[in-house]
Amino acid sequence: MRTGAEIVWACLRAEGVDTVFGYPGGAVIPLYDALHSSGIRHILTRHEQGAIFAAGGYARSTGKVGVAIATSGPGATNLVTGIADAKMDSVPLVCITGQVRTSLIGTDAFQETDVFGMTLPLTKWNRLVVSTEEIPEVVAEGFHIARSGRPGPVLLDFPVDLLKGKADVRIPVTHRPKLGPRWPNSAKADFPAPALRSLLLSSAKPTALVGAGVKLAGAHLALQRLLDDLQVPTGATLHGLGAVPEEKPYFLGLVGMHGSHAANVALNEADLLLVFGARLDDRVTGDPSKFAPGARIVHLEIDRSQMHRVRSYELPIVGNLADTIPQFHEAIADLRLPDWSEWKKTIAELRSGERNGSGRALPALHLFDELYALLPENAIVVVDVGQHQMWAAQRYRAHSPRGFITSGGLGAMGFALPGAIGVQLARPDARVVCISGDGGIQMNIQELATIRRYGLAIKVLILDNKFLGMVRQWQQLFYSRNYAETDLSDNPDFVTLAAAYGIRGRRIGVDPAQANGLPADTPDVLKRFLDSPDPELLVFECPREANVFPMVPSGAAISEMLLEEN
């Protein structure tokens, strides 16, 4: 006979969990009471949102299921943003929440919240546990669903009396997944080779678009082999960055709202668009009715619900990209491809003619160039949300498929600092750099205490422009410079604040006398920052009205991008 809490920990061990992130409270005290004998490392964050973002960082950097624990009521509601973030970005998570006693559910008891109902549209699956005996089956099913098909978050809500109750159960259980059309076993599907070959042979302007699905499937090497043979212009979504090495001659960088000119032109003018594991959301497509207007689309995707969302596709291919990309390559192995040299030459000329940034943003762009030039191969950058996110993405040099991590679909400010904690704990060998803005860093800045407690050598770079920069940019360009409530000129001294947490910090600014706008010793400062065995914080005082370009205005086509300030 074991308590429900002991059963939960045993189930987590059976699923291969070695680390969980959490914050205790009344309804999960039984779980914490049994923690000491669990054999699992628990990381105490300073806020439940910090716990789930850290679990998300852990999962994003490894592909394993991340686990976050919170108590009932406000503990559970503080997980909601992180759950939505994981759903949007296909991150496998299992969230364990405490709940009031079974007999009190529905009575508005202290710290009672219907977390099951609240998270129903935000999770891939959720469950209110109704007996101690069913815990092993529920946990096994939750982990299976979180990691299978298109990954996503699962929430398991445990009434406290079930955690205290005892049962004689077998662990692990043999979970038999319920097969359905939403998560197909694509390996058995017939691959449409004749239709694919016909589309390629009739194409004059083929273009490829790479999304996160390639990395989630572990199919990046197979894709690189395929693209090396095709040699077609290729762009990447924000989450697709890293799947294709930056030095590949056909790679055009980021696409979409702040994508490169060449990448967006290639998408707009393509007559055949090969989409590998991308959702085609509005940040990629711009006005959907004007997206790739002359293109026939071949879309390889594991989630059937993502098909035909923008417009009808000529060839949707549903399946795991680890299966379908090699099948694609095999289908064209003996194909004599058309001569696409003029098309590739046109796009290459656009790429080579792109400006290296302009205006007030130049110092920030050069800072990222200097930073990335110094990063080792095992580096992982974890980026927050805003202007710095787009600059970091535009200048990113791929080191590994999981080397660039950010909150993309939800765009949740405050993700980067706790996300970096999860990454560093999952990858203790990696150089982890957290890149944030002065707005985002203050949303979970309390997690500096977590970094110090666990001695994590995370490097925190803050771009401080004394504004909510991306909102201010929109206000400048489209709202007559009405900077309503975006002024952060009363920011704290981040270096002093870091010192209060026991973390060294320093500050650099802009030097107009230098060609790149940075102080002459910037490379030395960055090298010391990165090479330190301890956590470090570096504040870059960014020009206040620096803007991100190119930029596609809201509602415009990606061909209607603004290339620079004027």
Q: Which candidate, 128, 72, 80, 94, places its Cα nearest to that of 19?
A: 94
Q: Give the pTM.
A: 0.95
More confident residue, 174 or 301: 301
| Residue 419 pLDDT grade (very low, low, confident, very high; cuts 50, 70, 90) | very high
236 burial type by CB count under 10 A (0-12 exposed, 13-18 middle, 19+ buried) = buried
Task: Compute the average pLDDT of residues 392-421.
Answer: 95
Residue pLDDT, tens place only, 334-377: 999 999 999 999 999 999 877 666 689 999 999 999 999 999 99
Q: Which residues contact 82 (CB under 8 A, 6 or more apart)?
A: 49, 51, 52, 53, 55, 56, 68, 93, 412
pLDDT at 174 over 80: no
pLDDT at 445 over 80: yes
Please report the pLDDT score of residue 477 as a whole number. 94
Please report the pLDDT score of residue 558 as a whole number. 93
Please report the pLDDT score of residue 566 as a whole number. 66
Query: Whole-angstrom Cα distance, residue 561 to residue 556?
Result: 8
Please report the pLDDT score of residue 564 as a whole number. 83
Query: Whole-angstrom Cα distance, residue 187 to residue 319?
Result: 7
Q: Which residues contact 477 (CB under 8 A, 6 or more apart)?
A: 547, 551, 553, 562
Please report the pLDDT score of residue 162 as a whole number. 98
Residue pLDDT, tens place only, 74-117: 999 999 999 999 999 999 999 999 999 999 999 999 999 999 99
Please report the pLDDT score of residue 308 as a whole number. 86
- Out of 229-238, 307-316, 554-563, pick the least confident: 307-316
Which domains does the chain carry? 2-167 (3.40.50.970), 186-352 (3.40.50.1220), 359-548 (3.40.50.970)
Beta bridge partners of 166: 3
Please report the pLDDT score of residue 311 as a whole number. 81
Please report the pLDDT score of residue 359 as a whole number. 84
pLDDT at 180 over 60: no
Residue pLDDT, tens place only, 181-202: 444 444 445 899 999 999 999 9
Residue type, 306: Q
